[in-house]
Structure 1
Amino acid sequence: MTVSPIPRMVWILGFVSLLMDVSSEMVNTLLPLFLASGLGASALVIGFIEGLAVAVATVTKALSGVLADWSGRAKPLAVLGYGLGALSRLIFPLAMSLDQVVLAKAMDRVGKGIRSAPRDAMVATATPAAIRGAAFGLRKSLDSLGGFLGPLLAIAAMLVFAGDIRMVFWLAALPAAFAIFLLIFRVKEPVAAQAGKGSGFRFRDALRLTAPVRGVIALAGLIMLARFSEAFLLLKALEAGFSPVWVPLIIVALHAVYALAAWPVGIFSDRLAASGKDPVQVPLMIGLGLLAGAHLVLGSAQSAPVFLAGVALWGLHMGFSQGLLGAMIAATAPPALRGSAFGAFNLASGAVMLIGNTAAGWAWVSWGSAAPFLIGAGISVLAMGLVALRPRNAPQNP
């Protein structure tokens, strides 16, 4: 069987994600330090800003997917979302007060929320069903590569600019600007995506997603509940003996493993489908097993080597799950409702992450640092059982 090459549009959208993630991580890596040392913000204020950002992005992700289906045009929403993110980069280096940082952070998260569902809908529309796993895996790999490069560039820029955080923020605007250029001038609206306008789409249709789509969203929610924020990894790194100076490199290592795994896992999934097997059951069970292992290793980590082994397992889990979940939404959602399906998927994931992070923090404070990891391992095993019992997907949508 001849395997179709991944469409050029998917590659370009992947590089757009890579560049914007480089820009985001250059800012986010240094923003807590900037808030605390430059603007005198307390830990409570920093936590509020991060929580507000998650909440804003979660709501806008759902709305943008519905708008993409209603209009039949995903690219303008993607441009708007990436454009807001790029514009926020010009506010960070100029910020002289907390409210200006809150404005920039909110603008960035609104942009992320707006662009996520339309971008994924474009990837789904532009990609043949036979290589959808590889396409979503590639986009996730490139996005994670941005998360790998961003902190490294931030550290290098801090050395070059003698610790001037504002200069690093200015530098972060460059990859964001190039991402907008690629999106506007090198990405065309997929022809099939334009079919929604005037095709009888009603806003209430977005609330009537099919049972398979709801099943994928429910499964994704359980996985997100088991995998809480990476902030807990950074806190655990301090317990394992890492100096605060080197803690940001934990995220670099995590994204490196994630980036290396996501695309090959997508290809593996497509090959399973081509041979008549369930394309997601085995990879997802492997991924959840890796997550359970990561939790157990991290929960008991008291040294740097053991902790790094847990981080590597966590990154592998990301590679075995994130791209596949996107491909599952694309396979089960009706073409006219793909934007709404991705929006609902992102909304549910964000809401569960908020709940899971709060619960993990409470468990950490109440029972010790090992508690959230042990609970996460248990939820991972439960999710493995559900995946094992899950009926095979219906035939994929074209």
Structure 2
Amino acid sequence: MKYISKTVLVLSLVSLFTDIASEMLYPVLPIYLKSIGYSILFIGILEGITEVVSGYGKGYFGHLSDVTGKRVPFVRFGYALSAISKPLLSISQVPFVVLVSRILDRIGKGVRTGARDAILSSEATNKTKARVFGFHRAMDTLGAVIGPSFALVYLYSHPNDYIFLFYLAFLPGLIAIGFTFLLKEKKDQPIQRNLTKQNNSLFNFLSYWKKSNPNYRKLVVGLLVFAFWNSSDVFLILKSKEAGLDDHLVIGIYIFYNLVYAVFAYPLGVIADKIGLKTMFLLGLGIYAIVYLLMGFVQSSVLILLAFFLYGLYAAATEGISKAWVSNSIPRSETATAIGMYTGLQSICAFFASIVAGWLWFLFGAPVTFIVTGVFAVLVFLYFFFIKIEEVSNI
């Protein structure tokens, strides 16, 4: 743990408490929306719209962070927005109010993501980034264990009482905001000298694609093709529900998935620093393909549990690894823009992924949805297997 600085620890605690708040609601929200009459297609559209908003924010504010040379204000404001979005879900069941709450949460994610990941990247070298990002993901995902666990206990004693749960989710969000005030801005923060605030138009961050190096573009193309077919985890939750599992068991399995993710994220990050980021990412992608092909046919609760265990391994082997890989492909002064643009376009692809998944499910059922996704994951695996991506000096 000698590679984990105070700044990385503080950011990880911020993410921990934010995820406790978010994940208290995430596995409950699709069940809640279905209980008040919303269709799976509407849920898919809702998730897609919020991902587009988040995606734009990641690109724009990541670019703005590099241009201004500031990180902490973006992190602080982004987490604050996500915190205040939680109580809004309790106000009304009207689709517009639900949408506003989810959009505020995703705007907050967009504001903070590029700047936060740039801070994490600056706290590591090319040879230690996987473990630093892995540690952050482990703490973040630990919140995804604690949050749903609390929701499970609460709903067990208060069945179907979702509204008060939305209020409770505000509390850990406040704690997260408090931790952001322990962060300090680095005085030697590099700035993109070739860009100015005046040139920072609403979509100027997209111009980074032409300015970026070929290695970044090759990497991001593959990641985005995968993202286009990697629909929201909501569909895995709904598949478990369709297989006959009750609400408590569905939430319990989701908690189990996040526990696996949290436990393995840091160790797999350490291993990735030794064997290579590409090798670890390919391993995770192969596991993902197996999970989705399996979920196309599974009906047994035991096999669903196995699928979620493997899904946790996939997440641990790819989520933090992909950001470390991206940050190693570009100069340090471009980190927030590069990661912001990648994660932004990733979110936009997730919009289409959720729409397509909802459409496939609506027309052909769950098996086709999961099998098609699994096949495309195999194709992306082959793409990464054959291409070569070089690293740049972390300067």
TM-score between both structures, scaled by the size of structure 1: 0.88
| 1:253-295 Cα distance to aligned partner (Å, 9 max, x none) | 22111112211111011123xxxxxx12221221122112112
Q: Pick from 342, 347, 351: which aligns with 1:350? A: 347
- Counterpart code for 1:220: L
Q: Pick from 201, 222, 227: which aligns with 1:224? A: 227
Mapped pair 1:66 → 2:63: yes
Q: Tell me which of the two structures has the higher relative contact order, counting C-alpha pairs closer than 8 angstroms and 6 or more residues apart.
A: 2
Number of corresponding residues: 385
**Offset of residue 240 of structure 1:** 3.0
Q: Kindly tell me: are residues 292 and 42 of structure 1, through their superposed partners in 2, closer, same or farther at Cα, counting changes over 3 Å?
A: closer
| 1:228-254 Cα distance to aligned partner (Å, 9 max, x none) | 221221232134331244222232122
Q: Kindly tell me: are residues 302 and 157 of structure 1, through their superposed partners in 2, closer, same or farther at Cα, counting changes over 3 Å?
A: closer
| 1:113-135 Cα distance to aligned partner (Å, 9 max, x none) | 11111111111112222211100
Q: Check whether the contact 1:84–1:111 (CA below 8 A) recurs between aligned residues.
A: yes
Cα distance in 2 for residues equivalent to 1:45 and 1:388: 36
Helix, strand or coil: the match of 2:394?
A: coil
Q: Pick from 51, 66, 69: which aligns with 2:48? A: 51
Mapped pair 1:26 → 2:20: no
Identity of aligned residues (%): 27
Which residue does the alignment assign to 1:190? 186
Mapped pair 1:319 → 2:316: yes
Cα distance in 2 for residues equivalent to 1:188 and 1:144: 24
Cα distance in 1 for residues equivalent to 2:31 and 2:385: 44
Q: Kindly tell me: are residues 92 and 283 of structure 1, through their superposed partners in 2, closer, same or farther at Cα, counting changes over 3 Å?
A: same
Moved more, 4-13 or 201-210: 201-210
**Offset of residue 170 of structure 1:** 2.2
Which residue does the alignment assign to 1:257? 260
**Structure 1 segment 200-239 matched on structure 2, within 5 A:** 200-202=194-196, 203=200, 206-207=208-209, 208-239=211-242
Helix, strand or coil: the match of 1:129?
A: coil
**Structure 1 segment 146-157 matched on structure 2, within 5 A:** 146-157=143-154
Moved more, 125-134 or 153-162: 153-162
**Structure 1 segment 255-334 matched on structure 2, within 5 A:** 255-272=258-275, 279-334=276-331
Moved more, 43-52 or 24-33: 43-52
Which residue does the alignment assign to 1:360? 357
Q: Kindly tell me: are residues 158 and 301 of structure 1, through their superposed partners in 2, closer, same or farther at Cα, counting changes over 3 Å?
A: closer
TM-score between both structures, scaled by the size of structure 2: 0.89
Which residue does the alignment assign to 1:275? none
RMSD: 2.4
**Structure 1 segment 93-104 matched on structure 2, within 5 A:** 93-95=90-92, 98-104=95-101
| 1:315-361 Cα distance to aligned partner (Å, 9 max, x none) | 21111111110001111122221111111111221122222223333
| 1:298-328 Cα distance to aligned partner (Å, 9 max, x none) | 1221211112111211221111111110001
Helix, strand or coil: the match of 2:4?
A: coil
Gap runs ≥5 in structure 1: 273-278
**Offset of residue 95 of structure 1:** 4.5
**Offset of residue 57 of structure 1:** 1.2
Helix, strand or coil: the match of 2:249?
A: coil
Cα distance in 2 for residues equivalent to 1:375 and 1:140: 28
**Offset of residue 159 of structure 1:** 4.4
**Offset of residue 178 of structure 1:** 0.7
Which residue does the alignment assign to 1:12? 10
Cα distance in 1 for residues equivalent to 2:242 and 2:165: 29
**Offset of residue 161 of structure 1:** 5.5
Which residue does the alignment assign to 1:388? 385
Cα distance in 1 for residues equivalent to 2:145 and 2:322: 22
Which residue does the alignment assign to 1:372? 369
Cα distance in 2 for residues equivalent to 1:85 and 1:136: 21
Which residue does the alignment assign to 1:276? none
**Offset of residue 35 of structure 1:** 5.1
Helix, strand or coil: the match of 2:245?
A: coil
Which residue does the alignment assign to 1:117? 114
Cα distance in 2 for residues equivalent to 1:373 and 1:41: 24
Cα distance in 1 for residues equivalent to 2:144 and 2:37: 25
Which residue does the alignment assign to 1:141? 138
Cα distance in 2 for residues equivalent to 1:136 and 1:4: 14
- Counterpart code for 2:355: T
Q: Kindly tell me: are residues 395 and 142 of structure 1, through their superposed partners in 2, closer, same or farther at Cα, counting changes over 3 Å?
A: same
Cα distance in 2 for residues equivalent to 1:128 and 1:334: 12
Mapped pair 1:80 → 2:77: yes
Cα distance in 2 for residues equivalent to 1:10 and 1:150: 22
Helix, strand or coil: the match of 2:169?
A: helix
Cα distance in 2 for residues equivalent to 1:45 and 1:291: 26
| 1:30-70 Cα distance to aligned partner (Å, 9 max, x none) | 44455566xx5533655554333222112111111111011
**Offset of residue 381 of structure 1:** 1.9
Cα distance in 2 for residues equivalent to 1:250 and 1:220: 27
- Counterpart code for 1:143: D
Cα distance in 1 for residues equivalent to 2:24 and 2:109: 16
**Offset of residue 395 of structure 1:** 3.7
- Counterpart code for 1:333: I
